[in-house]
Amino acid sequence: MNQDITEMTAAELSRALHRRELSSSDAAAAYLGRMTQTESTIHAYITPTARRALEAASAADEMLKNSGAPALCGIPYAAKDNLAVEGVRMTCASKMLADFVPDYTAAVVERADSAGCVLLGKTNMDEFAMGSSTERSIAGPTHNPLDPACSAGGSSGGSAAAVAAREAVWAIGSDTGGSARQPASFCGLVSLKPTYGLVSRRGMTELASSLDCVCPITRDVTDCALAMNLLAGRDPGDMTTFDSDEDYTLALTGGVSGMTFGIPRPEMLDECESSVRRAMNRAARILETLGARVTEVDLPLEMALEIYMVVAAAEASSNLARFDGLRYGLTAEGATAADRMRATRSAGFGDEVKRRILTGAYALSSTYGGGYYRKIKAAQATVCRETDTALDTVDAVLLPTASGVAFRLGSYADNPTALYRSDCFTTVANLTGIPALQIPGGGDGHLPVGLSLMGKKRAEKTLFRAAFALESEMKPFVGKEVGRDAVGYAKPC
């Protein structure tokens, strides 16, 4: 093969592996080699798992000798460091869990393991998935492979950077308010936030249980469909999951002719950078050219963002209560159990985590809030209703993923809460449980712009079909407007 293995998409590598043109061990070695070259600049990983990867690769090579090996068998991937893997340190990028080694494995990693996937390591993130830049990590920031001075986004910045830097074929991230889609957008990649309940959360350290989703981050739409075939489906260990036995790769073709797409009113894009507005307009035109109808819709984006911040903080304040230093993780000294908990939590959590725990506890408090949380949940129901209404009239909605391209690392150091606004287009999907599929939509001449398709619950197939059609048409623009030596999809044509 003349092509560098690390430049292949999962679909391409899968073909080569199943045809026995390449071995999984070759692929693992190529990726581990790539990691030694690029990790010092990118810092996508917190804990690489080279030995585990080589063992998994040789086991995958055995599986590949037989016909009927799973599509992603033998393909190297990375997992965010909030997913438990038995025997591998899981830090959640926090001092609290700096030395924590779980003795259980997340459902999605179990699925990947049994399909013969090869885990290369655990990727960097914002502490406990709270952040949008992967700067709030005990391991230090992750750098955007398209411009290392810029953020790879967050909180799944490590997963996105690993894929963009060709340090993994694909990666698993998590998305509570945009944490997988925004990094995918910043790195020129594809990511699906599935319908809540389509992918098991078991073994994923919870941020906000009712909003959290485990998501694939991939090089293109086809890879995303392959990854969803692996990840989706009921898990008896997560009672919020439901049955699914779709083959999403079959949903890719078919085009958008006859479909209707909603786009936001122009004023909803006022805060966006011009490259984002340009990409939106172009995508809308492409859809029309392909025979789809495009119509303006109202989505309660602003309201969703505000409610999201309260719900996410409230649930986080409860989910993070377990880190008390009594059973595992950091343990600080204290005369009484209460002193010990206080000392552990004061020392173990970073500022952003503490800020959200305080906000969340305040929102839930009956003394201070006085039924505040009940009002928030009622408002959430309104957001769901309004979103349903908007989606009733269309097949999918097209939105920017972020209001701009990747920002420079350190931009928000003095004003941490300003970064919350970067979730303004993404949180509505988490708050209502609907799927959202991020694809590259262009660039600003330097860095990529991301667009999202959102649909009704369980409308993943519709999103895949539309995304695949758009991807084919937009590829040239993305290549030209990013103009950097990135990976696969975002490569100059």
Partner 1 sequence: MPSDMRSLAERYEAVIGLEVHVELKTGRKIFCSCRARFGDTPNSCVCPTCLGMPGALPVLSDEAVALAVKAGLALGCRINRRSWFDRKNYYYPDLPKGYQITQLERPVCEGGAVPIETSAGKRSIPLIRIHMEEDAAKLIHRGAETLVDYNRAGVPLIEIVSEPAMRTPEEAKAYLNSLRRILSYMGVSDCRMNEGSLRCDVNISVRRRGDTDLGIKCEIKNVNSVNYVGRALEEEILRQTALLEAGEEIRPETRRFNEDTGKTEKMRDKEGAVDYRYFTEPNLPPIVLTDEWMDAVARSMPPMPDEAAHALTSEFGVKPDNAVLLTASVRLTDYFTRCARATSYPAVCESLFVGEVLERLDRDDPAEYISPDALASICALMGEGRIVSGQAKRLVHLAAESGEDPEVIAGRESMLKISDEETLAPLVEAAIAASEKAAADYRRGKVAAIRQILGTLMRASGGRADPIVAERMLAERLNNGK
Contact residues for partner 1 (CB under 8 A)? 82-84, 90, 92, 97, 100, 102-104, 106, 201-206, 208-210, 236-240, 314-315, 317-318, 320-324, 326-328, 337-338, 341, 361, 364-367, 373, 377
> Which of 108, 390 has the CB closer to partner 1?
108
The candidate with the shortest Cα–Cα distance to 63, out of 115, 3, 132, is 115
Contact 233, 114 (CB under 8 A): no
Minimum CB distance to partner 1, residue 279 (Å) = 35
Minimum CB distance to partner 1, residue 303 (Å) = 20
Minimum CB distance to partner 1, residue 366 (Å) = 5
Minimum CB distance to partner 1, residue 332 (Å) = 14
Q: What is the CA radius of gyration of the chain?
A: 21
Minimum CB distance to partner 1, residue 178 (Å) = 19
Minimum CB distance to partner 1, residue 352 (Å) = 18
Contacts 24+ apart (CB under 8 A), 284-288: 284/398, 286/470, 286/473, 286/474, 287/256, 287/259, 287/261, 287/398, 287/466, 287/470
Minimum CB distance to partner 1, residue 72 (Å) = 22
> Which of 250, 326 has the CB closer to partner 1?
326
Contact 177, 423 (CB under 8 A): yes
> Which of 214, 396 has the CB closer to partner 1?
214
> Which of 80, 461 has the CB closer to partner 1?
80
The candidate with the shortest Cα–Cα distance to 387, out of 396, 400, 376, is 396
Tokens in use for 37?
């070259």
Q: What is the DSSP-derived secondary structure letter of residue 434?
A: -
Distance CA 344, CA 342 (A): 6
- What are the residues whose beta carbons fall under 8 Å from the beta carbon of 90, sequence distance 6 or more? 81, 82, 83, 84, 97, 100, 101, 102, 122, 205
- Where helices occur in 320-350 by DSSP H, the ranges are 337-348
| Residues constituting the chain | 493
Q: What is the DSSP string of 157-184?
A: HHHHHHHHTTS-SEEEEEESSSTTHHHH
Distance CA 90, CA 105 (A): 11
> Which of 206, 223 has the CB closer to partner 1?
206
Check the CA dihedral 221-203-247-387 and report its sign: negative
Contact 112, 73 (CB under 8 A): no
The candidate with the shortest Cα–Cα distance to 49, out of 25, 17, 78, is 78
Distance CA 198, CA 203 (A): 15
Amino acid making up residue 472: S
Residue 210 annotated as catalytic: no
Residue 155 annotated as catalytic: yes
The one catalytic residue among 94, 132, 155, 317: 155
> Which of 280, 364 has the CB closer to partner 1?
364
The one catalytic residue among 24, 151, 174, 179: 179
In angstroms, what CA-CA distances link 433 with 172, 180, 190, 195, 459? 19, 15, 19, 6, 11
- Where helices occur in 72-125 by DSSP H, the ranges are 107-114
219 CB neighbour count, 10 Å cutoff = 28
Contact 469, 461 (CB under 8 A): no
> Which of 59, 343 has the CB closer to partner 1?
343
Minimum CB distance to partner 1, residue 210 (Å) = 4
- What are the residues whose beta carbons fall under 8 Å from the beta carbon of 110, sequence distance 6 or more? 203
Minimum CB distance to partner 1, residue 367 (Å) = 5
> Which of 104, 351 has the CB closer to partner 1?
104
The one catalytic residue among 14, 24, 25, 80: 80
Contact 226, 71 (CB under 8 A): yes
> Which of 101, 413 has the CB closer to partner 1?
101
The residues carrying an active-site annotation are: 80, 155, 179
